[in-house]
Amino acid sequence: MDVVLAKKDLLRLFGRAQGVADKKSTMPILSNVLIQAETGGILRASATDLFMAVTASATGEVNRPGTLAVPAKDLLERVKAMPEGPVQISSAEGATAQLKAVGARREFRLRGMPGEDFPALPKPDPNATANTISCPLLAELIAKTHFSISSDETRPHLNSALLEWDGEVVRMVTTDGHRLSKHEVAAEGGQKASFSLLIPLKGIAELRRLCDEAKADKDASPLKLMRGGPNVFFVRDDTMLAIKLVDAQFPPYQQVIPQKTGSRVRVGRAQLIDVLRAMSVAASERTGSVRLTLGAGTMRVTSENPDSGDAFDELPIEYAGTEITIGFNVRYVLDVLTALDDEDVQLGVTGELDPVVIEPGSEKKFLAIVMPMRI
């Protein structure tokens, strides 16, 4: 193999692959990036952890086609250390890669593995139905819901996000058992479809990176979404991300959402964030609990740490119900509030131990449920 590519293109290819390569696997090949130099001037970089796979390509000068698997982290570090400009990658004896700065003396040698040892990568069915969604819309869905995905990998149905395409509505729902977030957007171009995908947390993180890269590149091209067997494929220009879907049943979230709440509270979002952040300083490190006491026109907020003291503040609200005190994990509420950008938010409350519904003050595309704590 002998190929020459610009350093910036190599950084993009190998940086994307390095995020997926499995550094902790008992299979050494999974910590590698597969480099494929093809006739026609195409260089492909692929990585997989057997649950997710990514392939990205760029055009360059291919003097000799070939394949080679090279440690992803080591390869990226060496490309970063190269001077700006074109870089030559060639395979020397055995499975050793040679990186050389074109027009300069700097070079690296890096031991790799034969490209033939790399596991087969999933591919979409060429006849699969494709839907499109823009990166800004997908990024919006993720930003509004990712914080309530459980980090517990032993509970795969909660360690994932539900992506639903329901007619002309695209919806994402997440829950960790203590809180739930739901956000929906209108499908672009009047597209209609009907399917549900359970995407693992690591896959959501890579999708977020893919959208961030598109934003940084000012790339307006949409993502193409295709389903095939146990995988879902997201394709943008020269990059394809394959994610193995979670084979589990997502909780029946519609049953969790209260059909109606006893009273509504309207409060300034920025003021509530400021008060809750201040109260969190004095909250118990173990529970993170704060108390919200709702009264006519006023919300009183208190927190208490048995070891260090307590805190108190209050702020004006629109509320005409009976006085009620509810306990919360302050981080859960702050996660919701910081994901929104409305001036006001509305809280739907019923009882001290009933779920609280948090919605933006204006449009109703977003909804969050937070379970209270016993106080």
Domain spans in the chain, listed from the N-terminal domain onward: 2-117, 130-253, 257-370
Q: What is the DSSP letter of 249?
A: P
Average pLDDT, the chain: 94
Residue 25, pLDDT score: 83
Looking at the predicted structure, is the pLDDT value of residue 220 above 90? no
Fold matches, 2-117 and 130-253: yes
Looking at the predicted structure, is the pLDDT value of residue 53 above 80? yes
What superfamily in CATH does domain 130-253 come from?
Answer: DNA Polymerase III, subunit A, domain 2 (3.10.150.10)
Q: What is the pLDDT of residues 96-149, one digit of tens each?
A: 999 999 999 999 999 999 999 999 999 998 888 899 999 999 999 999 999 999
pTM to 2 decimal places: 0.92
Query: pLDDT band at residue 205, thresholds of 50, 70 and 90?
Result: very high
Q: Which residues contact 179 (CB under 8 A, 6 or more apart)?
A: 148, 332, 335, 336, 368, 369, 370, 371
Q: Could you give the percent of the chain with pLDDT greater than 70?
A: 100
Per-position DSSP letters for 137-177, written without gaps between them:
HHHHHHHHHGGGS---TT-TTTSEEEEEEEETEEEEEEE-S
**Do 18 and 30 form a contact (C-beta atoms < 8 A)?**
no
Residue 287, pLDDT score: 83
Decide if domain 2-117 falls under CATH 3.10.150.10: yes
Looking at the predicted structure, is the pLDDT value of residue 80 above 90? yes
Residue 364, pLDDT score: 79
Q: Which residues contact 255 (CB under 8 A, 6 or more apart)?
A: none
Tokens describing residue 64: 């000799």
Looking at the predicted structure, is the pLDDT value of residue 363 above 80? no
Provide the CATH topology of domain 257-370.
Answer: DNA Polymerase III; Chain A, domain 2 (3.10.150)
Q: What is the pLDDT of residues 30-47, one digit of tens each?
A: 999 999 999 999 999 999
Looking at the predicted structure, is the pLDDT value of residue 362 above 90? no
Tokens describing residue 347: 């809280």
Q: What is the pLDDT of residues 264-291, one digit of tens each?
A: 999 999 999 999 999 999 998 888 899 9
Residue 260, pLDDT score: 87
